[in-house]
Amino acid sequence: MRNAINSPFRYAGGKYYARKLILEHILPHNYYIEPFVGGGSIFFAKEKVQNSWLNDLDEDLINTYIHIRDYPEELINFLKGKPALKELHAYYKNDYVPQSDLERAGRWYYLNRTSFSGIMNKQNCYWGYDDKYSKRPENWPKAIRSASEKLQGVKITKLDFEEVISNVPDNSFLFIDPPYYNADQEKFYTCGFNKIDHLRLEKVLRKHSGRIKFLLTYDNTSEVKELYHWCYEPLEREWNYKINRTDNQKKCVGKETTVITKGKRYKGKEIFITNFETFDELAINNN
């Protein structure tokens, strides 16, 4: 894929390991939108088109994206000479008081790169850097510069998803990766997402479905399947991933809390919902 790069962030619930599977289901388009961008692993992996719009309600995340796009050298300068150290992580997490948006972005980037799974929610933001597996501080500038290049000309907003979806241009393609339906997402993200939000999402997508194309990824639950009965049959997808980078940690998967063990292999399982016929469905229908 031309100009495919990795996200400059680590991100809980990020789609890095599923990116190939997801890219297979993205239709050709001129306007690309992610209303829940998070770490943006799909935007950074795909070919950039003429117009892109990335959105998330997380204020610090969006402030950091804007600094990567518009002030990469200032951000790099802030991070310069700062080693990945547990004590510095604790200082940025608990004591440091940023005096500007640039300092806020610098603090956030430092914590994101050194926390377990990039979890930034204060209660669950633990030291999670490992010299062997994590991106080392001397490589952060390169990641920031290449992300900055790809973000040039990209619209970046901090809005509720409903406002974004209601205002996307006709014929846009949306990759929609909301928080899971059946998981305690408060553990990962700074903005809460409840059942009412899931219902709002379904309603706004149904309203605009005639003028846009979307790929929606969710946890595989009967409630979600029921909610999106008006879309094409959901595709069940699995992918493998391995946790390499940190000490053993607890992680919430669905409704269960699992102990994540360093070096072990795990399976990601989700459903892909589309409002257009995918190649898989065409193949089934033609057989």
Ligand X SMILES: C[S@@+](CC[C@H](N)C(=O)[O-])C[C@H]1O[C@@H](n2cnc3c(N)ncnc32)[C@H](O)[C@@H]1O
Q: Residues in the site for ligand X, rule: CB under 6 A?
A: 11, 13-15, 35-36, 38-41, 56-58, 160-161, 177-179, 189, 191, 193, 197
When the beta carbons of 197 and 280 are compared against ligand X, the nearer one is 197
Contact 67, 75 (CB under 8 A): yes
Q: How far is the CB of 41 from ligand X (least distance, A)?
A: 4
Q: How far is the CB of 212 from ligand X (least distance, A)?
A: 17
Q: How far is the CB of 252 from ligand X (least distance, A)?
A: 13
Q: What does the block give as tokens for 88?
A: 């510095």
Q: How far is the CB of 279 from ligand X (least distance, A)?
A: 22
The CA distance from 213 to 165, in Å, is 11
Q: How far is the CB of 85 from ligand X (least distance, A)?
A: 26
What DSSP string describes 10-64? --TT--GGGHHHHHTTPPP-SEEEESS-TT-HHHHHSPP-SEEEEE-S-HHHHHH
In the chain, the DSSP E strands lie at 31-34, 51-55, 155-157, 173-176, 213-218, 235-242, 249-253, 256-260, 265-274
Nearest CA to 56 among 9, 125, 114?
Answer: 9
When the beta carbons of 110 and 193 are compared against ligand X, the nearer one is 193
**Residue 127 in 3-state DSSP?**
strand
When the beta carbons of 58 and 151 are compared against ligand X, the nearer one is 58
When the beta carbons of 132 and 182 are compared against ligand X, the nearer one is 182
The CA distance from 23 to 41, in Å, is 11
The residue of the chain with the least Cβ separation from ligand X equals 38
Contact 53, 26 (CB under 8 A): no
Q: How far is the CB of 173 from ligand X (least distance, A)?
A: 15
Amino acid identity of 124?
A: N
When the beta carbons of 32 and 161 are compared against ligand X, the nearer one is 161
When the beta carbons of 16 and 281 are compared against ligand X, the nearer one is 16
When the beta carbons of 82 and 187 are compared against ligand X, the nearer one is 187
Contact 174, 35 (CB under 8 A): yes
Q: What are phi and psi of 188, to 5 degrees?
A: -100, -45
When the beta carbons of 35 and 128 are compared against ligand X, the nearer one is 35
Q: How far is the CB of 158 from ligand X (least distance, A)?
A: 8
Q: How far is the CB of 174 from ligand X (least distance, A)?
A: 12
The CA distance from 253 to 32, in Å, is 29
Q: What does the block give as tokens for 8?
A: 């400059």
